[in-house]
Amino acid sequence: MIKRSHIRQFLSLVDAGSFTQAAARVRVTQPTLSSGIAELERLVGAQLFVRDRKRVRMTDAGARLLPIARELEAKFVAADSLNQTVRAPVAAMRLGVLRSLSTAMLRALLDALPPEIELELIEGSDGELRQALATRRADLIVTLLRADDAGDCVAALLSEPYTLFVSARHRLASRERVAPEELAGEMMIARRSCELLAETSRFFTQRGVRPRFSLRSDSEERCMALVAAGRGITTAPLSLRVADTVPIALDGYRFDRTIGLIADPDWLALPAHSHAFAALAAGAN
């Protein structure tokens, strides 16, 4: 008979991707976890994982079991809460978030999320988030949408341009647009989380503009704070604007992006999860 310990060990191994980390998550020894997974495979009559030296991958049988296991664990959690005065979460979400997503948009998403959802946030680049979704380490991601992203598991949230940002006190702040050559000699701020970092570098290099940098940082808030303080200029999506900064069109710099939700179809199949997906899609618009 399949026990809750089997389900917890199975989900832990799926999420951790290794026997060592999974065993630590459920507080058992690695041999105990290996024995539990082997017993579960015997009970379901199929191999659930392919093991090699570098990583553990789910088989097709494991992928079919995963949504069932998550639903069972959610019901176990709900049952545990019957004798508690505080209501326990009835569903869980591992939400992957693009590093360059604005704090305001993240806050809007979190405010729209149903309170019964237990949330784990994961930050990453578009490629990292898509890999996490493909390997079942994330249930839902907020990332850049591509032309071939479509279907019931995808929802567009925001389309916006990339633009030049300067301080409200900058000499160019009153201009609607500038030529890149006018920026020669300006101190620049490199947003290292920018999806267009390579394209932006080529854009300026091809026009003979080789700026000096006052900061190279993964922190969007820190980069934009320096722009506001007049310590450099940068290019960024329009949604990253903060107080005391001014967006200006940059001649020839024609880039935009669409941010959207992409969900794991198996995770989305559960009613509580589809409700959360719809709430996020509506709350961010």
Domain ranges across the chain: 1-87, 159-255
The second-level CATH assignment, the architecture, of 1-87 is Orthogonal Bundle (1.10)
What is the reported pLDDT for 89? 46
Q: What percent of the chain clears pLDDT 70, i.e. is strictly above it?
A: 94
Model pLDDT for residues 44-69, shown as the tens digit of each residue: 999 999 887 667 888 999 889 999 99
Same topology for domains 1-87 and 159-255, yes or no?
A: no
Q: What is the mean pLDDT of residues 110-130?
A: 90
DSSP secondary structure code for residue 69 in this structure: H
Looking at residue 238, its amino acid is L
| Pairing outcome for strands 177-178 and 245-250 | parallel
Phi-psi region of 45 (alpha: psi -120 to 50; beta: other; left: phi over 0): left
Model pLDDT for residues 63-95, shown as the tens digit of each residue: 899 999 988 888 877 776 666 554 444 567 899
CATH number for region 159-255: 3.40.190.290
Nearest to 101 by CA among 257, 217, 225: 257
pTM summary value? 0.68
Looking at residue 211, its amino acid is P
User: Tokens 């959207």 map to which residue?
Assistant: 260
What is the reported pLDDT for 271? 84
